[in-house]
Chain A
Amino acid sequence: MTKYLLKRAGQALLVLWAAFTAAYILLQAMPGDSILIKFQDPELGLSPEQIAKIREYYDAGGYLHTVLGFLHGDFGYSVDTGTPVVERLAEGLPETAKLATCAFVLAVLLAVLIAFGSAYSGRLRGLLLAVPSLFISVPAFWLGILLIQVFSFRLRLVPVIGGTELQQLVLPVLTLAVPISAPIAQVLARSIDQVLTQPFVPVVAAKGASRSWILWRHVARNALPPTLTVAGLVFGELIAGSVVTETVFGRTGVGRLTEQAVNAQDAPVLLAVVVLAATAFVLVNLLVDVLFPVLDPRLAT
């Protein structure tokens, strides 16, 4: 078990390094840079020599220097705003964490509802099983606008401008949760079906267990591992989805920060975001791997 964990942790570190390096190289390879974008503003009328001087001032000092900085928790300065990257992340992270956590919980609830609902019902089954493919084909961008139009502008149930923190969260959480719930629901429903065909099910049924008892006590437990894997992978979607959701709803957060940093080619911010996202992704999947042996005793041995 310890060996398994150590191996997984080592792999995780390797993934982190690879993500950082790939991002670093790609950002360097892009045409232009944040300094040019920001300072070639015609309104400022700076000469190429002046811009070169500014570039010298902002120069981060190469790959090794940047790696060492990251290891010390020094992510450098955002060229776009001139503030430390750590400060910008600290502004955005709590907001995104709130949004993403709520959305993930809701997505799991939706998935469980759909999957178990379809296992229970005879006639609605076809309809319920079509829901994931509908959910996954709805673009988050479009869904966000639709929800705003209907619930905020037409029915006036929640404001998008102002309002309490809870009101501010409702629609973005829905927008983010719906597409994410789809793959989880799909895999969960499929696993339930598979487990239901296994020979032990009729045995339990013959002993007089009710359908609910079978589903929750026997099938659920066996259907969980594949679902957990998907849930871990879906975490990446959560980060990508927050970029769109935060922009549509005008929320602050890491997603919005990413969008702005991409537009401004703000390399220090983008590097930090990549490393942050990769860390979160790696940690979640590590957690999934740790939970696996707990759920499936066969793996523990």
Chain B
Amino acid sequence: MSSFRPAVVTVAMLAAVGLLTSCGGSGTGAQAKSDGEPVYGGTLTYLEHQPPTCLYLPAAGFYPNGGVLNQLTDKLTWQNPETLKIEPWIATKWEINEDATEYTFHLRDGVTFSDGTPLDAEAVAANFDVYGRGDDKLKLPPAEFVNNYERSEVIDARTVRFHFGKPSPGFLQGTSVIGAGLVSKKTIGLPYEEQCQLKNIIGSGPFTVAKQVVDKEIDLQARKDYNWAPPSSAHQGRAYLDLVKIIVTPEDNVRVGALTSGQADYVRYVQAYDEATVKSAGFVVQGEPTRGVNNGLYLRPANSILKDIRVRKALQAGTDAKEVVDTLFTDNYPVATSVLSHQAAGYVDLSDKLAYDPGKAGELLDEAGWTRGADGVREKDGVKLRLGVFVAGPQPLSKQTLELVAQQWAKIGVKLEIRPADAGTQAVDIKDAEKTAVNHSMVGRADQDVIKSQFHTKNRDVILSNDTKLDQLLEEESALADETRRNEKVAEIQRYVIDQGYAIPLFEEPQVYGIAPYVHGAAFEAVGRPSFYAVWLGK
């Protein structure tokens, strides 16, 4: 009798909570004055999913890092997230030679870092020398958004020129990305482990660090003398807000609950299944596109089973991306129609090649000599058709996504082994095509070079490529100076990757934010990192 009493009480407690939750009304009112004049002042409480890691600028792609650094640093150029055009910012104008091997930037006058030193040609040159080449002595790795960099040349205090060994058409966009944030000469001269630490990052951005509790909270204070926003920005001068409190709140439902109960104003990473809760409480769910290589499964040709293109193509045909999105995600996660997002530069619609066709998948596997065993899993020469994949920590609902795909693959006789490994095992096995036949990943960047980042053997190399033709295509793409021809090349690569069965694109991964109705002016850079510069509170 007494043995099941705890269970009964637990159920009763749960029921009580359910009752409280359902009777509590709709939270804070949604009566925001949307048409009011912007107001200065106030504190924005922003909840972040994970603590920032290393804040060395080229490592800023990790969203928790980017969310902080986007407020602390300015870039040479500004990529308009609407048009993806590159517009002036710290550089007022620029010239590029015909074959894109020489870039000359003319800098805005009077810009200073928060330590008072000028943001001049010398400082810009020092930044890009590190981002372009890395620095062995300071243990600073080069940045993936700069290709073929040779050297910088300071023409005068406000003019700087960069030279490239080979054409580098992606460089102009590269100067606008989060990782190309400009830091003071003092910061860029520090060794890696010191540039990793927030206290050492001196930028020229609209906010500076006021306080930091490691792994818990970062307070950013508006810089009163800031007066160099991108010229096309509607807001100029200092930021509207006085203070931004970035608080690390790892627990998903604590973030969402804190937002809807009025304890926070703005949160990053609202899970797909929480979107309805946030909306029904009168809050805004904002899904920002990341405009890059889609969230998908990447198949490794070096694996002894996947070396057969027919198997790869069979897996492609046997995966129903639409079911994944319909079951697990929302409208903020569009079904993939190519390797790249439909908002990416150089995108081409390949949905006809990606149709779900389990019949065709079965035929391809039969043809490749894989026959069904007694347990439903196909085998050939005594080897089971079994493939390993790691749960991808940074990807939303990666485990659930993989489980659903595993069910789909089971129908065509393929066993997908999902491994929720610790970071150490993953770091070792992810580079082993036998153990990790399939990679679940994505990468965001609003430039054609993003496809090179994902597939080139010298970059992320997610498929552990042994395909020299693919490398060659990617190198050609990254060196084409003409925009139209470059887009054609990117289209060719997308077709090639799909035709070779290297990729099973699932969906276009967004960054999803929850925002209180009284928060105005929420803006994002081209791949979905927030900018608090023009944010104001209308409450």
Using CB atoms and an 8 Å cutoff, list the residues of chain A in contact with chain B.
Answer: 30-33, 36-38, 40-46, 50, 54, 57, 80-83, 88, 91, 126, 129-130, 133-134, 137-138, 145-146, 148-150, 152-156, 159-162, 247-252, 256-257, 260, 262-265
Contacts and interface: CB of A to CB of B under 8 A. Distances in A.
B380 interface: no
A34 to B, nearest CB: 8
A263 B431 CA distance: 19
Contacts of A80: 53
Given A32-B425, A250-B254, A130 B2 contact: yes
Interface stretch (B111-119, B212-220, B399-407): B212-220
Nearest to A127: B5
Contact of A159 (B24, B144, B263): B263
A82 B193 contact: yes
Interface stretch (B57-65, B159-167, B321-329, B365-373): B57-65
Interface stretch (B9-17, B100-108, B356-364): B9-17
B251 interface: yes
B6 interface: yes
Contact of B459 (A36, A42, A82, A262): A42
Given A36-B424, A138-B10, A148-B254, A154 B196 contact: no
Interface stretch (B242-250, B303-311, B474-482, B500-508): B242-250
Contacts of B2: 126, 129-130, 133
A263 B50 CA distance: 12
B20 A154 contact: yes
Contacts of A146: 13, 17
B428 interface: yes
B234 interface: no
A262 B422 CA distance: 9
A82 B194 contact: yes
Nearest to B263: A161
A32 B424 CA distance: 4
Contact of A82 (B21, B51, B197): B197
B251 A145 contact: yes
Contacts of A33: 424, 427
Interface string B193-213: 110110000000000000001
B5 A134 contact: yes
B424 A46 contact: no
B260 A153 contact: yes
B258 interface: yes
Given A154-B261, A250-B251, 13 more contacts: A32-B423, A32-B428, A33-B427, A37-B424, A40-B431, A41-B59, A82-B193, A126-B2, A149-B20, A156-B261, A162-B247, A250-B216, A252-B216
Contacts of B24: 154
Nearest to A132: B6
Contacts of B59: 41, 43-44
B264 interface: yes
B6 A134 contact: yes
A40 B462 CA distance: 12
B231 interface: no
Contact of A150 (B17, B216, B248, B249): B17
B460 interface: yes
B475 to A, nearest CB: 15
A30 B422 CA distance: 10
Contact of B258 (A38, A43, A153): A153
A40 B432 CA distance: 14
Which A-B residue pairs are the 3 nearest by beta carbons?
A32-B424, A82-B193, A42-B460
A150 B257 CA distance: 11
Interface of B: 2, 5-6, 9-10, 13, 17, 20-21, 24, 45, 47, 51, 53-54, 58-59, 61-62, 139, 141-142, 144, 192-194, 196-197, 213-216, 245, 247-251, 253-254, 257-258, 260-261, 263-264, 422-431, 458-462
For B17, B253, B423, which residue has the most chain A Cβ atoms within 10 angstroms?
A: B423
A88 B264 CA distance: 28
A53 to B, nearest CB: 8
20 contacts: A30-B422, A38-B54, A40-B430, A44-B59, A44-B141, A50-B141, A54-B139, A81-B196, A88-B214, A129-B2, A145-B251, A146-B13, A153-B257, A153-B260, A162-B45, A162-B247, A260-B51, A263-B422, A265-B423, A265-B424
A249 B215 CA distance: 13
Contacts of B13: 146
A250 B249 contact: yes
Contact of A161 (B141, B215, B249): B249
Contacts of B261: 152-154, 156
A82 B196 contact: yes
B277 to A, nearest CB: 11
A252 B422 contact: no
A83 B197 contact: yes
A133 B5 contact: yes
B428 A36 contact: yes
Given A126-B2, A247-B251, A264 B423 contact: yes
Nearest to B191: A82
For B45, B141, B245, B460, which residue has the most chain A Cβ atoms within 10 angstroms?
A: B141
Given A36-B427, A145-B254, A265-B424, A45 B6 contact: no
A1 B285 CA distance: 68
A95 B5 CA distance: 36
A113 to B, nearest CB: 17
B248 A250 contact: yes
B269 to A, nearest CB: 14
Contacts of A81: 196-197, 214
Contacts of B257: 148-149, 152-153
Contact of B247 (A42, A148, A161, A262): A161
Nearest to A262: B422
Contacts of A263: 422-423
A251 B216 contact: yes
Given A82-B197, A148-B257, A250 B428 contact: no
Contacts of A31: 424-425, 428-429
Nearest to A163: B263
Contacts of A44: 58-59, 141
A247 B250 contact: yes
A257 B58 CA distance: 26
Contacts of B424: 30-33, 36-37, 265
Contacts of A153: 257-258, 260-261
Nearest to B257: A153
Contacts of B141: 44-46, 50
Contact of A45 (B142, B258, B260): B142
Contacts of B216: 250-252
